[in-house]
Chains A and B, each alone.
Chain A
């Protein structure tokens, strides 16, 4: 088991980070901390993807002209997928932060329980 862990150390760290992020997102009452948990989850996914594409001893996928030998370079596909992930994560983070700012401007708090109480009071 220890050997399996050390062989897949990046994936193990990614799982731990994912767990930290998910717990943060579900248990924190502060909306800002929820967004931070979301970002940690994103980083875990990026770490996992980037580590899947790496091949030991191979170089960055910038092909030498004329000399094309695929066994010299790492896998370029996960790098492209990480790019997609980063773009989506940035967009979602910015959008949720903007929403939180509007919520704070309207209710004066970003603690979830207080927020619910105030929203309910306003509704009545």
Chain B
């Protein structure tokens, strides 16, 4: 071989790659020969592929049912062995939950233990949840937003016709009830949002109610009416500001806690609650409007 000067690594790489050109004519002939399979007609391949698919589809339900039944049996046997429902001595009710119940009010200023727990002790978890919601609504927007690339003339025509029908034949029952109910729903949402630490509720439930109110208004009066109040840029701004306010406040919370600085907890919990609520409301409204119209 003529690669005396090459390094060991290069020689090794060449050895792994093999010869691209055969050294003797017999090997070259064998290498150049077309595989036998390629001579068979195209129909033969298709037929074989179809048979294989058919066999797979015939076998698949049986295998899937078997797997499911096995799993359910295992789960069922496990369920029969777990401690009985609703007893105070169960292993799930350990000192962690006792600590949360006894010290939540003192350490976070919230009397609702669930809200106090998810916003302070498990705040990173909730921050992750908010990020999941943010990413979900972003990806749904990416998939469903109507722009030049994914909308044809027919869809546009259909949308325009639906709008015209809605404008000429408004749904009176829906409109009247929405007019009556929307203010109260929004007020109740704000109540649940700001009162989450001291009563049942909190950011997620309040945000869901807020989003529901927006959806009702949008369904009754049409998306144009609402998009005048809540434009695309405002929507994006609220969404991003909510997430950033959460991250910032929780950062301060952790920094202060780690350095032994005492800070007023109450307003912090309220800010985090509000941030989570805004993110959730934007997510729910975004899902609705994306699936309904494909634009905000």
Q: Which stretch from B19-27, B91-99, B237-245, B256-264 is at the chain A interface?
A: B91-99
Residues of A within 8 A of B40 (CB): none
Question: B101 to A113, Cβ gap below 8 A?
Answer: no
Question: B140 to A63, Cβ gap below 8 A?
Answer: no
Residues of A within 8 A of B129 (CB): 83-84, 87-88
- Minimal beta-carbon separation of B280 from chain A (angstroms): 8
How many chain-B residues does the 8 Å CB contact rule pick out? 58
Listed residue (B71, B100, B139) with the most chain A CB atoms within 10 angstroms of its CB: B100
Residues of B within 8 A of A98 (CB): 139-140, 143-144, 290-291
- Minimal beta-carbon separation of B283 from chain A (angstroms): 8
Question: A27 to B114, Cβ gap below 8 A?
Answer: no
Question: A77 to B100, Cβ gap below 8 A?
Answer: yes
Residues of A within 8 A of B132 (CB): 87-88, 91
- Interface size class, chain A: 35 or more
Q: Report how far A22 CA is from B82 CA in the complex, Å.
A: 22
- Minimal beta-carbon separation of B145 from chain A (angstroms): 10
Residues of B within 8 A of A22 (CB): 68, 71-72
Interface status of A18 (Cβ within 8 A of chain B)? yes
Interface status of B164 (Cβ within 8 A of chain A)? no
Residues of A within 8 A of B139 (CB): 95, 98
Q: Classify the secondary structure of B's interface with A.
A: helix
| A88 and chain B: residue at smallest CB distance | B132
Residues of B within 8 A of A94 (CB): 136-137, 140, 287, 291
| B99 and chain A: residue at smallest CB distance | A70
- Minimal beta-carbon separation of B73 from chain A (angstroms): 9
Interface status of B84 (Cβ within 8 A of chain A)? yes
Given contacts A11-B79, A26-B68, A60-B200, 7 further A-B contacts (CB under 8 A): A15-B75, A68-B102, A70-B101, A73-B101, A77-B97, A83-B118, A97-B291
Q: Which residues of A contact B (CB under 8 A)?
A: 1, 4-5, 7-12, 14-16, 18-19, 22-23, 26-27, 51-56, 58, 60-65, 68, 70-71, 73, 75-80, 83-84, 86-88, 90-92, 94-95, 97-99, 101-102, 105, 113, 116
Q: Which residues of B contact A (CB under 8 A)?
A: 53, 57, 61, 64-65, 67-69, 71-72, 75-76, 79-82, 84-88, 90, 92-93, 96-98, 100-102, 104-105, 111-114, 117-118, 122, 125, 129, 132-133, 135-137, 139-140, 143-144, 150, 198-200, 204, 287, 290-291
Can you name 10 A-B residue pairings with CB atoms under 8 Å?
A12-B79, A19-B75, A23-B68, A52-B92, A55-B93, A75-B97, A88-B132, A92-B136, A94-B136, A94-B137
